[in-house]
Amino acid sequence: MVAVKTLKDGRESREILLAFARSIKERDLVTYEHSRRVAVYAYRLASKLGWEHGQARDLALAALVHDLGKTWIANEILHKSAALSAEERRKMQRHPVIGARILIGCDVDPFYVETVLYHHERWDGQGYPSGLRGEAIPLSARILTVADVYDVLTSQRPYKEPFSSEMARERIGRDAGTSFDPTVVAAFVELLDTTPNFLLPCQPADLDQLAEITLLQLP
């Protein structure tokens, strides 16, 4: 397993990230609710992979703002029900870079920046924005990618109906070694198979309650 360092003196960074999460909630409730669920899935998956609570919490906080860059994308692109044009897809694929630049401007810990920046990279090197391959992709981003795609698959979107948890499990398992780190996928599949009612409901939740219960149980 790749070594992971628990962030020290990160309270200020965490407060900044939660402030951004609140701004996402105000801007686009759908994106916020997606990020909330991804944060919980990423926390569970990191814990399954042996990360300590503080490490998994830091990843969950990064997941809460992983789509921060989408707040700068026009609604007609974000909520389009038809296929995106090549130009619209190019604009959408800028969101990890936009989000990372916003975080850099706020001097948050680089862990959060790289997790947000690389969460659309693929194990086979065909992702974006940098085309990183395999273990060159930070482990935090590899975990987040699986959690992110699982929620996208199991959620209602303007362009698709939701998958069942079983269908999403099959799709993610099929893409191990291409889109996803096979080790991360194996842990996620085991987590799905051993956790009753793993799928979170797609309903509004209180951010402060989530922060208190799931993310910010600080020592």
Peptide bond connecting 129 to the previous residue in cis, omega within 30 degrees of 0 = yes
Q: What is the pTM of this model?
A: 0.88
The overall average pLDDT reported for the chain is: 87
List the domain boundaries for the chain: 11-210
Query: Is pLDDT of 199 > 70?
Result: yes
Q: What is the pLDDT of residue 52?
A: 93
Query: Is pLDDT of 208 > 60?
Result: no
Q: Are 119 and 141 in contact (CB under 8 A)?
A: yes
Query: pLDDT tens for residues 14-71?
Result: 889 999 999 998 888 889 989 999 999 999 999 999 999 889 999 999 999 999 999 9
* CA gap 175, 164 in Å, rounded: 17
Average pLDDT value for residue range 87-102: 94
Q: Are 85 and 132 in contact (CB under 8 A)?
A: no
* CA gap 219, 217 in Å, rounded: 7
Ramachandran bin of 208, using left for φ above 0, alpha for ψ from -120 to 50, beta for the remaining angles: alpha
For 130-193, give the secondary structure using H, E and C: CCCCHHHCCHHHHHHHHHHHHHHHHCCECCECCCCHHHHHHHHHHCECCCECHHHHHHHHHHHH
Q: Are 4 and 139 in contact (CB under 8 A)?
A: yes
Q: What is the pLDDT of residue 203?
A: 57
Residues marked as catalytic: 70
Q: How many CA atoms lie within 13 A of 119 on its CB side?
A: 35
Q: How many CA atoms lie within 13 A of 83 on its CB side?
A: 2
The top-level CATH class assigned to 11-210 is mainly alpha
Q: What is the pLDDT of residue 156?
A: 83
* Residue entry with tokens 């990183």: 132
Query: pLDDT tens for residues 142-181?
Result: 999 999 999 999 998 777 789 999 999 999 999 999 999 9
Query: Is pLDDT of 117 > 90?
Result: yes
* CA gap 22, 202 in Å, rounded: 18
For 200-216, give the secondary structure using H, E and C: CCCCCCCHHHHHHHHHC
